[in-house]
Structure formats: C-alpha cells, structure tokens
C-alpha cells in the first residue's frame, strides 16, 4: 500500500530541541543516530539508505589517487611568500574554483577555498562529491538515490529548498498542495547556520525552532484536511545535532611547540577531525605523541572504522584519522579560522547533544532511527519496498 509522504528535513536539529517545538513534540519522536562526519557525509546516507562504507562520501576534500587533482595547476606555484600566505591562498583558490572548476562539478559543497594547507600539497587533493544529490548517478550505477528511484517509477514529487542561492531558507520554501504530488520534500538548512552563529538553544535559536515547528504544523494540518489522520505519512528529521563550543585548539601551534613542522606532510584539518598522511613509521609515532597531548582527540582504530560504518580507505581518511570530543574544535582548518562559530557538529554519534531528531505522525517501531532508515521508511511509505534489498536502512514507521 502506498501513501503520500510529506518529508521535512531541517539541518542540525538536536533531539532535545523538541522541548521548544510543541507541535512536533505532540507527534511520535525518537533520537536519530548520526554518522561521524559533516552534512556532506550524512546526506548521501539519508538519500540512498546506505552508510559511508558503501557510498564513500567522506569529506569535501580527499587525497587524490590520480596523478593530477583539480587544484594541481595552483599547486605548481612556488611555495614562497606571497603564495605561502593563507589569505592569498584562499583568494587564489576561490577565484580559480569560480573560474575553472565550477563547470566540472555542481555538487552541494562545490569547490571550496583552501587556506592553511600549503600549495605544494594541492596537487594531491581531489574533491569527493561531483554531482548534486538529485542528479542521475549521484553515487554510481548501483547505489540509487530516492530522487532517481522516484523518477524511474514515474512518481510525481516536489522538492524545495535544496538548491542555491536560497539553499534551505525557510521563508523561500515553495509550498505546494500535496494532492498534486505523492512525495513532497522541504529542505530547511537555516537551522544549521543559526545554530553555528548563536548556538541552538540561544534566544535566536529557540525563536527559529518555534518558527520551524509552526511551519511543520501548518503543512501537517493542510494534509490532514486533504487525507485525514491516517491518509498520509509525515516525517520530520535532521541529520545530526549541534554542540556549543567550549574549547579550541590550534594544531599548528601545538605541533610547533613540539618542534614538528605540521606542513612537512599532507594533512587535512577540519573543525572536528584531522587526517594525516604519514610517510614513515617514525613520522607516525611523532604525530601520535603530539596528538596524545590533546585529551579530547581520539584516533579511530581499524575496528572503530567498522563500528562507525566508515570505509577503511586511506585516500578518504588518511593514515591517521582523529576526531574531537563534543564541544571541542580545531581553529586553523583547511578552509577557515573558526573564530566566529559558536556551535559545531561533526562529532562521534554518541557525543552528548549530537543526536539528530526523527518525528512522525505514524508509529515509530524503534527506540532510535538511523540516517539510512530515513530513506528506507520514506520509500516504504511510498510503496516501493523492493528497494530495501541490500541497503543498510530499515522501515521504521507503520
């Protein structure tokens, strides 16, 4: 049996934010287990029903296995002043990406600016995501997104908020009547940016949560009038939570204090993770020794890669891959300085406050829902259970 489905995604909404959302709180809800990574890693899982060990989207940048990456040309610049200045690098990579790389890929993340990684390493970089979420063959021939499946099945669907320039702004969402569409997908990204800027439970954050809650209530009531209580399925979810920042580390300074030149090897530092591509065992030991001084940093072991459903692929995660405890960040990252951000995500799924949310008007048959489950539940409601074969997610609503 198939039913119309109303899907509302809101980026980064914490499970405990339900207390500020009276309507959503009156429906059924459970926490959503996130994946260690950022939105770029989470989204493919909620659109395909498989974990990163299958879809292999790990981060904006990865180590290239090709001879030349998209930034190779800039990597040919001599590594001397002014080219070694992070700000000059940022401008150079930004202009270069805008002029030459934009046509190559139209992924959600695009080609970002590169700041703190010296240009001599840029020829080793590749990007991880080339297509937009709803493009054909977003992942590959075998792993299909909900968008591809519904197009193949000739299902009428409406998506709003997913695209630039208004990406996820709640006031720009194009609201339509569900009677013309079997699947409606409203993508709200604003919750994430407001949380970064003010923290989620600040006055600004709470005000937004209430606005979001009213949006959901309105859409729910419109469908209630059309179909009655049991005639449609509503799913409101997020991809991860948000944790206020309490501690900041500058890895460049820490390594300098330990007389180790961080930029002697290819590395990718982001807000909550760092990847090192060490060349020798000695180098590896030296790095572990320095990282051991940061009590909030944890090395992901081979066993943990499996538990976290991450691919054990050195091009994606380096030889050494560390993540930080909730509320801790690195400041000087590959693409920024992290000075203005007040709240962060991209932590271990078990970090307090990092849980996402899963809300439905249907019964939820599980104490916790995963990102692949979102795909599985949606596709099941729409009547396409045959696509559950071989995926990681399960239908959680009835």
> Which residue ranges make up the site for Zn ion (CB under 5 A)?
11-12, 39, 239
Give me the least distance between CB of 34 and Zn ion, in Å please: 9
Rounded-to-integer distance, Cα 321 and Cα 25, Å? 38
Query: How many residues belong to the chain?
Result: 398
Only one residue has tokens 């993340």, namely: 109
Residue 122 CA to residue 120 CA, distance in Å, equals 6
Take residue 353 and report the two structure tokens written for it.
């406050």
- Token readout for 363 is 């019964």
* Least distance in angstroms from the C-beta of 345 to Zn ion: 6
Establish how many alpha carbons lie within 13 A of residue 263's alpha carbon, considering only the half-sphere containing its beta carbon.
17
Min dist CB 380 to Zn ion, Å, is 24
- Tokens 């709003």 identify what position? 160
Q: How far is the CB of 43 from Zn ion (least distance, A)?
A: 7
39 vs 395, beta carbon nearer Zn ion: 39
CB of 359 to Zn ion, least distance (A): 17
Q: How far is the CB of 239 from Zn ion (least distance, A)?
A: 4
Closer by beta carbon to Zn ion, 11 or else 33: 11
- Nearer Cβ to Zn ion (43/63): 43
Give the residue with the Cβ less far from Zn ion, 12 or 326.
12
> Of all residues in this chain, which one has the CB nearest to Zn ion in the complex?
39
Contact predicate 49/388, CB 8 Å: yes
Give whole-number Cα distances, 106 to 54, 97, 138, in Å: 22, 11, 11
Calpha distance 1→19 (Å, rounded): 34
Beta strands in 233-296 (DSSP E): 233-237, 243-244, 247-249, 267-269, 273-276
For Zn ion, the closer of residues 90 and 243 by Cβ is 243
Per DSSP bridges, beta strands 183-188 and 5-10 are parallel
Q: Which helix (H) or strand (E) holds 322?
A: strand 320-324
Nearest distance from C-beta of residue 128 to Zn ion, angstroms: 16
Q: Which residue has the tokens 């292999």?
A: 56
Q: Is the CB of 12 or the CB of 161 nearer to Zn ion?
A: 12
Residue with Cβ nearer Zn ion (190 or 239) = 239
């Amino acid at each position: 049996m198939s039913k119309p489905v109303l899907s509302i995604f809101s980026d980064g909404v914490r499970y405990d934010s339900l207390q500020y959302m009276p309507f959503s709180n009156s429906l059924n809800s459970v926490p959503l287990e996130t994946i260690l990574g950022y939105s770029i890693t989470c989204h493919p899982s909620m659109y395909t029903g498989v974990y990163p060990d299958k879809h292999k989207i790990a981060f904006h940048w990865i180590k290239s296995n090709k001879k030349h990456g998209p930034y190779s040309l800039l990597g040919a610049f001599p590594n001397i002043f002014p080219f070694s200045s992070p700000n000059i690098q940022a401008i150079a990579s930004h202009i270069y990406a805008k002029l030459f790389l934009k046509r190559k890929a139209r992924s959600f993340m695009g080609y970002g600016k590169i700041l703190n990684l010296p240009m001599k390493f840029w020829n080793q970089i590749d990007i991880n995501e080339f297509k937009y979420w709803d493009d054909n063959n977003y992942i590959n021939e075998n792993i299909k997104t909900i968008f591809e499946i519904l197009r193949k099945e000739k299902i009428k669907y409406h998506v709003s908020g997913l695209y630039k320039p208004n990406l996820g702004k709640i006031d720009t969402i194009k609201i339509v009547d569900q009677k013309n569409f079997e699947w409606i997908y409203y993508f709200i990204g604003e919750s994430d940016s407001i949380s970064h800027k003010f923290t989620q439970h600040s006055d600004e954050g709470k005000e937004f949560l209430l606005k979001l809650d009213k949006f959901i209530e309105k859409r729910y009531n419109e469908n209630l009038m059309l179909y009655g209580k049991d005639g449609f399925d509503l799913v409101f979810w997020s991809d991860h939570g948000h944790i206020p920042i309490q501690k900041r580390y500058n890895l460049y300074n820490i390594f300098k204090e330990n007389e180790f030149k961080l930029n002697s090897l290819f590395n990718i530092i982001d807000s909550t993770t760092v990847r090192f591509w060490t060349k020798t065992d000695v180098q590896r030991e030296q790095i572990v020794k320095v990282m051991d001084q940061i009590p909030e940093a944890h090395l992901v072991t081979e066993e943990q890669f499996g538990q976290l459903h991450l691919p054990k692929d050195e091009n994606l995660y380096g030889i050494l891959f560390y993540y930080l405890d909730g509320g801790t960040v690195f400041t000087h990252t590959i693409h920024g300085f992290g000075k203005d951000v007040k709240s962060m995500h991209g932590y271990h799924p078990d970090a307090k406050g990092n849980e996402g949310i899963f809300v439905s008007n249907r019964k939820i048959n599980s104490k916790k829902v995963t990102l692949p489950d979102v795909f599985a539940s949606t596709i099941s409601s729409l009547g396409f259970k045959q696509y559950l074969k071989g995926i990681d997610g399960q239908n959680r609503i009835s």
